[in-house]
Amino acid sequence: MSLAPVLRYVPTIAPVAYRALLAVTGSHASEFLNGVAAVAIRDPHKPCYTAFMQPQGRVLYDAFIYTHRSPDTGEPGYIIEYDSRLTPDTPALPDLLKRYVLRSKVKLRDVSHEWDVWHAWGSRDTERFWDLERKWNWAKSGAIEPVWDVISEWPWGTADLAIHDRRAPGLGIRFLVKKGDKPAEASTHDVETQDAYTLHRIMHGVPEGFTDMPPTHAFPMESNLDIMGGLDFRKGCYVGQELTVRTYHTGAVRKRILPVVIHKPDEVPETASPSESVSPLPADTIIEPRVVEGVRTRGGGKLLSNVHGLGLALLRLDQVEAADRGEVTFHMSPEGHPAMRVSHWWPVWWPAKTH
């Protein structure tokens, strides 16, 4: 595929929209978060990427957890970054967490008005020392875990208000800046828009937030949270742990989110050229699989985040494997748009045994 028109290879920063921030402080902050987050929260406190789930094991929020110290007391605490958009049946994260505070010495405070979220990438000299080649653990279910012991320090970094984004190699660094301030990196990086960041993560096959993981509907491993380091299958109890671990040991991962290019039905996928003039298509548009002769197969996929003709899609793995063999093609007919073809690809960093 011809991706040159939309790729950025130079040091770049961009703001990340639709993000809310919740401070968690108090002497029991680490213990409290460890009981509700899908990864182990380390004490002394360290940043990480994780998810908060329903008891039934479906995703409510994927989240970054930054470390932070009170400017007044120096007390260590955390700031949770999550998608601020809600559906009618999704509890707001502060309300959700308040249910579990009970007698814990924990204080929750919305700090969205104090900080902006930014993302930086393309500084290979800066990232090379920590963004190393991945190793993986595999489960019979199809779940895949990154092995973090290939590096000497905590994989997500150790700085306050910043995180090494290890969801995929090459993603860069996520960080918080005082509300309204310009990041220091603006003097050394190109300053781009939200769309540039969205394209950056799409190209790496990384889902994020409300659109890609619809609250109360998305399953964690189908949403690639295992591959991105957002799940811990060996820690103690947390909300949603029982079904997640059961799936890991005895279930099967039947769907995954993969990057796709959207193009004309008669266009060859390898020569399809995404364009900045292509408007985003409705998320949740159904993707129909057809055998090469034109007959539809059972079930289908779903378009998620997309911009400039590139996107992410939740696809059935059996149909993806058939498409890799040339037996199936994917099509969709968004309302108000002509019929289109959808062609997936596997990110270059993706664990090799899955394809």
Q: Beta strand pairing status for 328-332 and 286-291?
A: antiparallel
> What span, in angstroms and rounded, lies between the C-alpha atoms of 137 and 69?
34
Task: Report whether 37 contacts 231 (CB < 8 A).
Answer: no
Is the pTM higher than 0.85? The answer reads yes
Where do the DSSP E strands lie in the chain? 12-15, 19-25, 48-53, 59-69, 76-83, 107-110, 115-121, 136-138, 144-146, 162-164, 173-178, 190-191, 255-263, 286-291, 301-307, 310-316, 328-332, 340-344
pLDDT of 354 = 46
Burial category of 94 from C-beta neighbours within 10 Å (exposed 0-12, middle 13-18, buried 19 and up): middle
The two tokens of residue 60 are 């409510």
pLDDT of 61 = 97
Q: Which residues pair with 83 in a beta bridge?
A: 19
DSSP letter (8 states) at residue 296 = B
R_g (Cα) of the chain, nearest Å: 20
Q: Beta strand pairing status for 190-191 and 12-15?
A: parallel
Task: Report whether 295 contacts 289 (CB < 8 A).
Answer: no
> What span, in angstroms and rounded, lies between the C-alpha atoms of 93 and 83?
9
332: Cβ contacts below 8 Å, ≥ 6 apart = 262, 285, 286, 287, 288, 303, 339, 340, 342
pLDDT of 216 = 93
- Which of the four CATH numbers 3.40.50.300, 3.30.1360.120, 3.30.365.10, 1.10.10.10 does domain 9-249 have? 3.30.1360.120
Residue ranges for the chain with pLDDT beneath 70: 1-8, 124-129, 149-152, 270-278, 293-297, 353-355
> What span, in angstroms and rounded, lies between the C-alpha atoms of 261 and 3?
10
pLDDT of 336 = 82
pLDDT of 355 = 45
Collapsed DSSP state (helix, strand, coil) of residue 183: coil
pLDDT of 187 = 93
> What span, in angstroms and rounded, lies between the C-alpha atoms of 110 and 108?
7
pLDDT of 322 = 93
pLDDT of 279 = 74
What residue spans in the chain does CATH classification 3.30.1360.120 cover? 9-249
pLDDT of 276 = 59
